[in-house]
């Protein structure tokens, strides 16, 4: 019986942190990207994003669900790494250290990418999509 090599900590952490970050902010990034490529207009992009927020601009149920999905993706990444790591014969102390490092990578990278995408999408909406929406509404 051959032993498997331990999974790559950095690749695993980046895969799940980036997936979680994008899942958590897809409500704003998707319409911005679709608008950028000319697939949707300003009015539709804003109405798409508004679906996830309340009338007053605060977070709505949709936004909270996406953030919950993002947390679940990160937790699944930790859970599956732990299971994969347990198939390998490595020192238990090293396993705990790897798990702690993975949690830090997923948390810090995921939150950092999420906040960066949130800032970018807010800027893009304000500078590109809102002016296009105003022009479309005048016509």
pLDDT at 109 > cutoff 50: yes
For the stretch 29-73, pLDDT in tens is 999 999 999 999 999 998 888 888 877 778 889 999 999 999 999
- Res 130: pLDDT: 92
The pTM of this model reads 0.88
120, with CB counted inside 10 A (0-12, 13-18, 19+), is middle
For the stretch 118-139, pLDDT in tens is 999 999 999 999 999 999 998 8
Torsion of CA 28, 125, 37, 25, to 10 degrees: -10
The domain spans of the chain are 9-138
């Amino acid at each position: 019986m051959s032993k498997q090599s331990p999974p790559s900590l950095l690749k695993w952490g980046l895969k799940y942190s980036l997936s979680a970050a994008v899942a958590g902010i897809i409500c704003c990034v998707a319409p911005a990207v679709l608008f950028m490529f000319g697939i949707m207009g300003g009015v539709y992009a804003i109405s798409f994003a508004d679906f996830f927020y309340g009338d007053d601009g605060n977070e709505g149920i949709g936004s909270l669900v996406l953030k919950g999905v993002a947390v679940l993706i990160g937790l699944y990444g930790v859970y599956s790494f732990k299971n994969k790591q347990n198939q390998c014969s490595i020192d238990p102390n090293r396993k705990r250290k790897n798990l702690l490092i993975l949690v830090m990578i997923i948390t810090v990278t995921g939150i950092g990418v999420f906040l960066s995408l949130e800032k970018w999408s807010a800027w893009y909406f304000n500078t590109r999509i809102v002016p296009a929406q105003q022009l479309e509404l005048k016509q």
